[in-house]
Structure formats: C-alpha cells, structure tokens
Structure 1
Amino acid sequence: MTILSPALPRFSASPRIIYPLSVARLCGLGVWQGQFLSLDRFQGYVVQIDPDTDNVRILNNQQVDLFRDSNSLTVGDDILWFTKGTRIYRCDLHTWEVTYVAEVKDRAEGIAVAGNTLYVSNARLGLIYVVSATQGNTITQFRAPGVGQEYLVVQGEDLWVCDDTEQTVYCLDRATGQQRFSFLTPFEHPSGLNFLPVSGEDHPPQPQLYVLYSGEQPYIQDDPNGYEPLRLANRDRSLIQALHYCYDPDRHYALSHGYRLELSYVEELAPLDPVTLEDVEWRIALPSTTNRQRVVSVEPFGLPYTLEEQDGERVAVFKFPQLTEVDRQVFGWRAVIETYGIKYQLLPKDVDLTEEFSEAFKAQYLVDNENLAMDTDVVRMAAKEAVGSETNPLRQILSIRDYVYDHLSYRLTTHIDNPDVVLQRGTGSCGEYVGVLLALCRLNGIACRTVGRYKCPQPPDQFHQPLYPDYNHVWLEFYLPGIGWLPMESNPDDVDYGPHPMRFFMGLAWYHAEIGRGLPFERVFSQGTNIKELPGAMSIGNLAVNHVRFRILGEIAPHPDSFPNSGS
C-alpha cells in the first residue's frame, strides 16, 4: 500500500506559499467557508486568510481581549473551538457567543474536533486527551507522538499532528493513537495544519495538507540614526505551505516535500607555505544517489576531471603534473540534485537478527579504523553503560544516541579529538559526536559509518539566491540487518531540556546534501602517497581554500517511484 498526497508538477520553480500580513505569531489552523482561520495569540486576533490572495481579515474585531494568550483553535461546522490555559471553549462564528466546555489537567494546547469528540494536546505531560464536547469529561488519553508543542486536525479516521520541536507531521489512528507514519516538515516551527480540497485535470477534488509555520526571522535592519546603521534583528514571520508527502510501508520510509538544488564545490589553490608536489591526484567525492536524493547532473568547474567509481560512489579526480606555492587554480564541480525529507518507519521487530556479517564487512565497519579509541577504558565503559541489558540493535542504537546526548554538549571546534578525550571533556563538535557514536556502536556490534558533507542554508523559500553554508557537517549511518543503512544525525537533536527529539533518528531533512557516502570526501595524493602521510603531515587546508554554494531552484513533490529501493 502506498499513501500519496496530490502531487505537484515534477519541477515547479514558483511554488505558492501564503504569507499573511499584519499578524505576529499564528497558531492553529482551521478551515471555514473555504478559507483558513488562525489565531494570533499575542494580539488576540482570530483571522481569516484567503489562500489565493493572502488577504487577512480580523473576525473578532471587538473581542480580541477574550482570545489573547489563547493556545490554539480549530473549526467544526460553524463552531470555533479554542484552548486557553487549562480550559476549552466553543464560539459560534455567527454570533461570537463564547461558552466554556471543559478543563484538562496542566494545560490545553492543540485542539481538533470530530463530531462530538475533542482531541487536546499537552506537551509537558506528553499526552493527547480525548474529551466529550457535550459532557465535558475526559473519555481517554494516549501518548503524544513527539516531545514539543503539538497542533492537531482530524481527517477521516486519522488524527494528524504536527510537532513544533520535532518539525514532524504524524498520522495517527484517532481511535487508538497508534502511529501510522510520519514525515518531516521543510520549514521550522510548524504551528498548525489542516486540509483543503484541490482539483486537478485528471482527478476529482482531493484533500491537500497545508501546514502553518510561525516563528522569528533574522534580517538586516536599516537604522539611519544608529551608531551602526545596519544591524542584525529579528521579526515575526508566519506562512502557510501546501506540504506534499508519500509513504511506502513496503520500503519502510516516508518522503516529504523536496527541492531541486544547485550545489557547487570549488577549491581555490593557494598554498600557505612553500611546497612542491609531484604527480598530484586530487580526489573529491560527488553527490550520492540515495532513497531521498537524486543526482540530475554534474559538471566540472574550472578544470576538467576524470570520473571514477569507488564502492558504488562517484569521485572526481583532478590531476596536476606538479604543484608549487606559486600555482593558482580553481577547480571542482557543480551539481544539480533533488532532495527530500526522509523518515524511516521501523520497529525493533523489523530487524533480522539472523543476518550475519561477512569478514570484509566487519573489517570495514566494526573495527577502530578512524582513531576511535575503542581500546581505552573510558570508551569501553561508556559502550557498556549506554546499552545496559538491551539486546535488540535498534533499541541499542537509540540508547547509545541518548547516552551520548546526555553526556555531551555541542561546541564548535577546529580540531577533532578522539572519543575518550571528548567523553572526559563533555563537549564536542558534530565530528566529535560522530566519533563517540561510532565507537560505542561498533563496540556493541552495530556496523556504522561517517557520512555527510554539507547542509543547504535555510529557509527553503529563498529561491535562486546564492546561499553559502558556514561549515561542513557530518552525521552517520548505522546498518540494521534485513533493512540496510539508515541515517542518524550527529548532534542537532541534542537539546538541553526534556526528552530528545526523534526527528533525525532514521531521518534527514531536505537540506542534507549527501556526498560520497562511506568514502573520505576529499583526498590528495602525491606520487601515490596521501599528503597526510608525507613528512610534515600536510593538510588540504594548507594547500587550498574551499568555496561552497547552494541555490534553491524550485520545489518538487515526492513520488513512490522517485528512487530505486536501494536500501540506503
């Protein structure tokens, strides 16, 4: 069975995003008379938003105080339901008469309605209450799927949930709360969701999912009277986007809203010290084809290269008879890739515990071949403490992730220390997080490898603008028997409070650019010897300056046949 949202054209350079004016922070998304309703909780506005024109109309123009500091809203027939504090209220949209309905424990946040049944979320307790709209009593409750503040809507027999912290949309069975599938949102801070019917040339009207996003946007403020006329500031921003997705339970993953990206990687040859290298081979990995990423085209930049294949990945090889400190060149590649958000839907029972690894596989992915300090007491003790008595590989890897997150805090570093040093220090960069995760996983028999390379700067509505990432980035993949390689972020889900999000555990966002999976991204050889092994241990950073640039070319919709089932 494949669940597919109504599809955009294969490539659309001008997506329709709704940007409502005159509002601060919107939360909750209802549909009434073919238009959206939302709540500006800071100003107390209940606003009607035209999806075709962005036109905004305040409906409660004489009752804003009543709605100020409310948490969310939803609409059923001509009744608006909203939450405030711990209470639930109903409001007739024709008379604007407000009536108290019920109260829940701790706090009432997101709300959805289906007939005489209300669904109300609470982030602190991690619950969704099921409440009678007529009697006001709580019928039952079930666990919320995420860890942040959640917003709800009912569509048929499903309860749809978006989580602000997880940046994820969940589809639940509304009778039991059991999760059917989930997928990632392309923007941060989802603050509401709902469905509008859309028509196509070859199909009748179908429900299209729309997601509301609301947060702060940094910008350069022009202050003519200031000591520094240009300064960094923040402003509120809300937008509504049609979110496309598909879920294939046979392949165990869901794809969500994608983008066509132009990615350029260029080296500018500029040695810092006197150097002479003979017979130079400069190898740079090219973007990978995976379940969530497709390479449309790749072309040389500056100088031609020779294309080679290594372990199923493609590498651009640039050759120089000689390089000295006076040589100046630019060389690299420019690629067009299509990327989607991906979220795998797997349970411990899906792991094939009978699969055995070959000796070659073990020698590559289960040993200390990356300075992992796996023979030190600090790392060995951590590997044992992290998994406890757990034996299932999927539960083990999640336990290891949480252990590392609980023992480390993120800090950007210019030098990558070994895992024993990182664990004792208690802080690390993304590369150091990966080193610790690799060491603990491999000591517990979980095959894993470093992958990555760059993330496209956000948000994804900056079409055709040159976007420059400040840093490279690495994450890892772990191997599940019977399934294949699965992604896991290094540190972005490590929060300082509460339970850790699950958005990037077996998931990646649209902005992750996968390059040379399982290979070193870039290496330089002189007369067949890696320059790191030459006297003086020369580094690529001493020879050249790299330049990385993205352009977002357009928006694409996922399709079940977008990529081969490569088990990536």
Structure 2
Amino acid sequence: MIPDLTTSTSLKNQLSAKTIRPIAATSIHGIAFRGDAMLAIDAKNGYLLEIDPSTNNTKILNPQHWQDFVGATGLAVAGDVLWFATEESVYFCSLVEGDFTPQLFVRLSYPANGVAVWESTVYVTCQKTGDILVFSRETGKQITRFYAPGIGVENLTVKGEELWVSDTLEQTVYCLDRATGKVIFSVLTPFESPTGLTFYIDPETGKEALYVAYSHWEPYIRDNPNAEPERELQYRDRTFIHPLHFHYYPDKRYALSNGYLVEMSYVEELAPLDPIELNNLEWRIALPAETPRQKVRKIEAIGLPFTEEIRDGQRVAVFKFDKLTDRDRHIFGWKALLEVWSIKYRLKPKDCEDLPELPEEFQSRYLVDNDDLAMDTDIIRRAAVEAIGRETNLLRKMYSIRNYVYDRLSYGIKPHIDTPDIALRRGVGSCGEYLGVLLALSRLNGIACRTVGRYKCPPYPLQRGVPLEPDYNHVWMEFYLPGFGWLPMESNPDDMVEGGPYPTRFFMGLAWYHAEMAKGIPFETLTSEGVLVPKEKVSIGELAINHVQFTLLEELEPEEG
C-alpha cells in the first residue's frame, strides 16, 4: 500500500531533515523561510523560488522581474518585505503586493554579497573589504562594521542575539554575537561551497533546524553521440539545500557537525614483485582510533585472524606468518564500523598565554628529529626562524608557520617523499612533504607535534551504500597545546589561494571524511625474527596491493552533553 504523503505527520517530520533539491534550480545563493515555505534565489537565472521542503515542488515568484535578480547572492525576509543583494547594491521589495520591483536601500563601493535584517538593523557582507557592514533600516546610514570571520563570499541570517554566517571558501558556518561581531563558535559544513543559510522551527514539534544551501560545479562523463570518442568530460551546476546538524561543547572548546556511520575496510593482497623469504613474520597495521570526533563501534578481521596490541596508546592489528615467500598468496586486513563527525576547535591566542611547561616525555619525543626531518640543515633552520619572526604566542607561531609553508610550497604528487630541506628548496610537495616541513619548523620552534593519518573517505556524503575508494592515502598533523591537549591541523588542503589569504577551516579542525589512525606511530610495519625489517630491504608496496573502501551507511546527529 502506498503511504499518503500529504497527511502523514511522522513522515513530514522525517522529510523536514532531508536534502532539498529545488526543481530547475541551478545556483542557489541565499535562502529564507516565510511561514512553512522556503524562499531561495537562483543567482544564475534570476529566479526567486518558493519551495515546498517536503516535496521539492518549486514555483517562480518573480516571472516578470527575474532580470533584476540575476547575480543576486543574498536573501532575507523581514515581515512582508524581501531583501536581496546584487552587485554593489542592496534592494528590498514587498511580498504582499507581489510586484517585486526592486527599491534601492544602499549602494556600496564594492559588491555586496549577503544581507540579513533584524528589526531596525540591516547587516550586509562584503568580501572585497572583508567586513560585515551594519546599517540603520530607517535611514540607510552605516552604524558600524565587524570583521568578517572568513575569506570567501559570505551569506548570513539572524537568530535572536546571534548572527550566523556561511562562507564559501571556508566551508564553515560561524555563530557571532550580533552586537559585537565576535565569533562564539564555528562548525564545518559537510559539503563544499555553502552559499546561504536559514533557521526553521517546526510549529508542530518545536524542533529547530538550520538549513544551508550549496552551489558549485561538478565534473561528469557526458555521452555525446556526435563526439569521438562518444564520452567526454563536462561540468554542470550542482545546487541543493541540506540541514546542518551541530552541537557546541563550550567546556571542551569544540563543535561537532554532520556525522556519518561509515564502514571502512583496509585489506592487503599479498603479491610480491621479487623473490623473498621472511621467517616468523609479524605484519602490523594500525587500527582506527577513538577520538572526540571518531568512535569505533566494531572491528573485525578480514581474510586472516589477528591479535591486537597497544602501541603508544594506539590500537594495532598484528598478523603472524611462520614463513612468508613470494609464492604465497593471502588477503588480510580489518573492517571497522565508525562514527565520524566534523570537528572545529575554538581557541584564541589569549588562551595560550602562561601555558604550563611541556611534559618532559613530550620534549624527548615530539621536539626531536626522529623521522628524517632534516632539522639540522641550514635551509630548515633558517626557515624556522623566518617563519615566526618575533612571535612568542604558541597559537600564533603555529599559524605563522602554516602560512609560511603555504607561501613557499605548491601541491604536487610524487612517487616518493623527499626530506623537508629538498621539498622546501624545490617549492613543490605532496601532503607528506608539506607535513615534513611543518613538523620540522614547528619542532625547532618548541611546538610538540606528530604525524596523523591515514585515509580520507571520498567526500560524497549523498552516495549511501556504495563502496567508495580513495585514490591516495593522506597524512596531516596534530600539535600539542600544554594544559589542553592535541589539536588537529591539515597539511596542505587549505593552501588553495595563491599567495593567500588562506582559509582556516582545517586549522584546529577536521572534516567528517578523515579516518584517524596511527597517531605518532607508523601505519604499517614488518618484523621478522623479532627485528624490524627496514624499508630499504623490503618495501610493503612491493609485497602487497592495498585495498581501501568506505561505505556510508547513514547520517548522524551529534549528541548533546
């Protein structure tokens, strides 16, 4: 029996949290609710859309005035008045009359990106100046301005005493104090390029939801019968609206957002390239870790059984072979059921004043060159001094080191990892080489840090139940803040704007698609007759083929408390 979609209250509540895909929309920039109807601006076509969130049914409200809305990047609704931003101007029009003839509110010297209205105050974002401008609704005069929290195109909405801002490049939503513009906390979005946001309170349940719009291009393979070959790479617009689930833990100084239940498997297929014989072999593979943003529900063996050991606080699977030769064939590894969330810490430089001393065991382990970091070379020592200048605050030092490395390296994939001195001199590096330079400069400046990895799930959270295979492994880092603990920092993904300014989305933050394991320890090692087998003698990459898969099972919401 087909359920009645129009009368099922429980189903309506379920649909209120689903992905909304407005029909015929190409590039949504700005969303707002008016009653139960969602309004959205399609910047490419100039459509002001009215959307039913439960059915995706879509209506164009401005069929005669769509030209006036082309290029609009902001939208707000205050009572019966619609506000939007386009080019250098902010306009308003009446929703009651349905005329939609724009009336000028204010014109800026630079493009206006987002607009929000609260009683007698109008907030406007401007990427060019890096500000949130505050105007009087009655006079149109500027009252004050706040620093914009990110570097991309920003949209915004108001909720009580809070100003909420989305940023396209930062992949972040910020919660600001509406009176001062100070950031209270921020959360990472599960998709790239957020272009609008709005809150909605279900009148039946009283449950509040934050919806975020996304708009960008995606590549796809087009079947073109007139081309040779028939299949060709093309790009198309991709836009949709998705609820942003989050929870801020002020006592822990971080916020979690949109989590996923993920099945991850790591398997080695034994297929040696050269003749080999290893006796009493122990093959160790790190297991997923328990962290504030990652929980392990279950781990089981694949192919062959393993024993588990703890190394430096990390779980490691140990596979044992009496004898392993080039004639043997096995598959072995593990499968884990993981809960993963995005995490973003909120710490400021003033929180890093008068820090306690770094524990002695950390000094002997995380401030030394124990991984071919070339910390004794002139180029690395000189860079360590240049990177921080006269800075003494630990958080500012770490931020300065990151930006220094981003200024001097460009991303490029190589078949092997060179030492930091070579990578810095060359000016091009993989994630591992970025990491090596970051570790070397940080440790020389007294900042304890370690390698973290190992894989990233392909970032397609709408592809549920389909095995996803990453193209590469990945490493990033954690730096230690005495008195607080370890903080994450990506190695290279934020190096996306030539010469800066650089996003800070992954500075003290990680996206949901990171699978954490091997914190400060090797991910995979071989021991024969109780002795560690050096890479120069036996390369794991020449012994076996690794198979890594992620399957997204369901979306999760962070727990309160």
Structure 2 partner of 1:396:
397
Cα contact 2:194–2:212 (8 A) shared by 1: yes
User: Which of 72, 81, 84 is matched with 1:82 structurally?
Assistant: 84
Partner of 1:430: 431
Given that 2:216 and 2:239 are in contact with CA atoms closer than 8 Å, whether structure 1 keeps it comes out as yes
Q: Aligned equivalents of 1:239 and 1:304: distance in 2?
A: 44
Residues 103 and 136, structure 1, Cα contact 8 Å, conserved in 2:
no
Report the alpha carbon displacement of residue 175 of structure 1 after superposing the two structures with TM.
Answer: 1.1
For 2:114, the aligned partner's letter is G
> CA separation of 1:526/1:14 partners in 2, compared to 1, >3 Å: closer, same or farther?
farther
Q: Superposition pairs for residues 327-476 of structure 1, below 5 Å?
A: 327-351=328-352, 353-476=354-477
One-letter amino acid of the structure 1 residue matched with residue 294 of structure 2: Q
Asked if 1:190 corresponds to 2:191, the answer is no
Counterpart pick for 1:177 among 181, 188, 192 = 181
User: What are structure 2's unaligned runs of at least 5 residues?
Assistant: 1-9
Provide the residue aligned with 1:112 in structure 2: 116
Mapped partners of 2:219, 2:300: distance in 1: 34
Q: State how far apart, in whole Å, the 1-side matches of 2:155 and 2:281 are.
A: 57
Hey, what's the Cα distance between the residues in 2 that align with 1:258 and 1:345?
Answer: 19
Change (3 A) 1:472 1:252: same
For 1:193, the aligned partner's letter is: L
User: In angstroms, what is the RMSD of aligned CA positions?
Assistant: 1.7
Q: Which residue does the alignment assign to 2:528?
A: 526
Q: Which amino acid aligns with 2:557?
A: A
**1:23 match:** 25
Correspondence 1:485-504 to 2 at 5 A: 485-497=486-498, 498-504=500-506
The answer for the alignment partner of 1:37 in structure 2 is: 39
Q: 1:554 aligns to what?
A: 554
Q: Which residue pairs with 1:148 in the alignment? A: 152
SS at match of 2:206: strand
User: What letter corresponds to residue 176 of structure 1 in structure 2?
Assistant: T
Tell me the distance in 2 between the aligned counterparts of 1:375 and 1:320: 40
Counterpart CA distance in 1 for 2:324 and 2:16 is 45
Task: Give me the whole-angstrom Cα distance separating, in 2, the residues matched to 1:290 and 1:134.
Answer: 50
TM-score (norm 2): 0.95
* 2:147 alignment partner AA: R
Alignment length, in residue pairs? 546
Contact residue 431 and residue 492 of structure 2 kept, 8 A: yes
Over residues 437-495 of structure 1, what are the superposed CA-to-partner deviations in whole Å (9 max), with x where a residue is unaligned?
A: 00000000000000011111022110001100000000000000111000000000012
Q: Which has the higher contact order (CA 8 A, sep 6+)?
A: 1
Counterpart amino acid of 1:53? T
| Structure 1 residues 476 and 82: alpha-carbon distance in aligned structure 2, compared to 1, 3 A threshold | same
Q: Displacement, 1:13?
A: 13
Q: Tell me the amino acid that sits aligned with residue 58 of structure 2.
A: V
Could you say which residue in structure 2 is the equivalent of 1:133? 137
- Structure 1, residues 252-276: CA drift from partner, whole Å, max 9, x if none? 1111110000000000000001111
Task: Write out per-residue CA displacement over residues 97-122 of structure 1, whole angstroms, 9 at most, x where no aligned residue.
Answer: 32111112211111111112111001
Identity over aligned pairs, percent: 53
Partner of 1:209: 210
SS in 2 for 1:532: coil
Q: Kindly provide the CA deviation profile for residues 321-380 of structure 1, in whole angstroms up to 9, marking residues without a partner as x.
A: 111111111000000100111000001222363422343321210100010110111000
**Alpha-carbon distance between aligned partners in 2 of 1:138 and 1:162, rounded to the nearest angstrom:** 22
Is 2:162 the partner of 1:161?
no
Q: What is the CA-CA distance between 1:168 and the residue it aligns to?
A: 0.4
TM-score normalized by the length of structure 1: 0.94
Out of 38, 57, 60, the position equivalent to 2:59 is 57
Deviations 1:410-431 (A, max 9, x none): 1111111111111111110000
Deviations 1:274-296 (A, max 9, x none): 11111110000000000000001
